[in-house]
Amino acid sequence: MKTIVLGLPKGSLQEATFSMMRKAGFNVQVGSRSYAPSVDDPAIDARLIRAQEVSRYVELGMLDAGITGHDWITENGSDIQEVAELVYAKQGMRPVRWVVAVPEDSDIRSVADLAGKRIATEAVGLTRRYLDEKGVKADVEFSWGATEVKAPELVDAIVELTETGSSLRANNLRIVETVLESTTRLIANKESWKNKAKRAKIEQIAILLKGALAAENVVLLKLNAMRDGLREVTDVLPSLHAPTINTLSDDEWVAVETVISENEVRELIPKLKAAGAEGIIELPLNKVIV
């Protein structure tokens, strides 16, 4: 029996979201022309919706919950229940930014210089509110796509979403101001959130997704050490918490386990070996629940 209707973002966030869902324990599959992904959880009825629209349908109750960006919640002015912040994007585990960008040779150097100018963007509401807050009057028009190529021939500036800035640089654009920094969010319809069964399911998804994200850049390190040399080994180790230490069948030896950042491993293993550690094993993790 289905418990919730869940909106998953179609577009730039789709593959990253499906990957996170799989790490969280939900196998999501969708055909090339399907808008109803299958999830191997009988309580979830999934829909593939453009990220720009997810928050509107969640607010209206057509979706019980959904995954979308903080930017589109803000753009739509959606009245929803925010359940969890999930810091991932199309290309990595980082926030994305909506920025004002202009051609490299433009005279525009600050948001004040946008007064009387023409600006193209997909986030019209977001841009207009930002300009209003700065006391700047400009002509903001909706862009249907390929926004980067519109300056300088069609518009004076653009407000565009960027993760690394590489696409802007490739189009000879420079960033003037950041309009909004955004992260991915799990959101819920407010009435659905009051429903005990629906809320329990949404909270389960939140816990598992946050656990998958927490495990994204860490590994489990296991090793053995002589008991009388344990201090030298543990002094080398960073940890989310204190390392777990268990006695082995040979009382002179102990087993040590700890979770560490993946990018620390290459520096740590030689140091651990030098400190007397043996049987060092590095294991990937799917979820870390903290």
Domains for the chain: give ranges and CATH numbers.
4-92+183-214 (3.40.190.10), 96-181 (3.40.190.10), 218-284 (3.30.70.120)
Q: pTM of the entire structure?
A: 0.85
Task: Give the tokens for residue 151.
Answer: 């300056």
Residue type, 122: E
The predicted pLDDT at position 241 comes to 66
Tens of pLDDT, residue by residue over 110-138, are: 999 999 999 999 999 999 999 999 999 99
Percentage of the chain lying above the pLDDT 70 cut: 96
Are 90 and 163 in contact, with CB atoms under 8 Å apart? yes
Nearest to 55 by CA among 34, 27, 80: 80
**Neighbouring-strand partners of residue 67:** 186
Task: Give the tokens for residue 1.
Answer: 């029996």
Nearest to 271 by CA among 233, 244, 215: 233
The answer to whether residue 72 scores a pLDDT higher than 80 is: yes
Tens of pLDDT, residue by residue over 172-219, are: 999 999 999 999 999 999 999 999 999 999 999 999 999 999 898 899
The predicted pLDDT at position 36 comes to 84
Tens of pLDDT, residue by residue over 225-235, are: 999 999 999 99
Are 20 and 88 in contact, with CB atoms under 8 Å apart? yes
Radius of gyration of the chain (CA): 24
Poorest-pLDDT segment among 63-67, 235-239, 255-259 = 235-239
Nearest to 141 by CA among 152, 161, 130, 155: 155
The answer to whether residue 259 scores a pLDDT higher than 80 is: yes
> To the nearest whole number, what is the mean pLDDT of the chain?
91
Q: At 19, which helix (H) or strand (E)?
A: helix 14-24
CA distance 147 to 167: 11
116 or 91, which is more confident? 116
The answer to whether residue 39 scores a pLDDT higher than 90 is: yes
The predicted pLDDT at position 216 comes to 87
DSSP 211-267: HHHHTTTEEEEEEEEEGGGHHHHHTT---SSSPEEEE-SSTTEEEEEEEEEGGGHHH
The predicted pLDDT at position 91 comes to 59
CA distance 13 to 26: 17
The answer to whether residue 90 scores a pLDDT higher than 90 is: no
The predicted pLDDT at position 30 comes to 84
